[in-house]
Amino acid sequence: MRTALACAAAAAALLAASSASAQDGPQIAWNVGLFSDYVFRGYSQTDEEAAIQGGVDLTAGSFYAGAWASNVDFGDDTEAEVDLYGGFRTETGGVAVDFGVVAYLYVEAPDGADYDYVEFKAAASRAVGPVTVGAVVFYSPDFFGLDEEATYVEGNLAFTPADKWTVSGAVGYQALDVNDDYTTWNAGVAYALTDNVAIDVRYHDTDVDGPLSEDRFVGALKFFF
Q: Give the pLDDT confidence score for residue 25 in this predicted structure.
A: 81
Q: How far apart are CA 115 and CA 64, in angstroms?
A: 25
Q: Give the pLDDT confidence score for residue 36 in this predicted structure.
A: 98
pLDDT at 11 over 70: no
Residue 52 near residue 70, CB atoms below 8 Å: yes
pLDDT at 74 over 70: yes
Q: Give the pLDDT confidence score for residue 118 in this predicted structure.
A: 98
pLDDT-derived band at 2, boundaries 50, 70, 90: low
pTM above 0.85, yes or no: yes
pLDDT 10s digits, 25-66: 899 999 999 999 999 999 999 999 999 999 999 999 999 999
Residue 93 near residue 102, CB atoms below 8 Å: no
pLDDT at 23 over 60: no
Q: How far apart are CA 161 and CA 132, in angstroms?
A: 12
Grouping H, G, I as helix, E, B as strand and the rest as coil, residue 9 is helix
Q: Give the pLDDT confidence score for residue 106 in this predicted structure.
A: 98
pLDDT at 199 over 80: yes
Q: What is the rounded average pLDDT of the residues 153-158?
A: 98
Ordered DSSP codes for 75-102: SSS--EEEEEEEEEEEEETTEEEEEEEE
Q: What is the rounded average pLDDT of the residues 129-134?
A: 97
pLDDT at 19 over 50: no
pLDDT at 197 over 50: yes
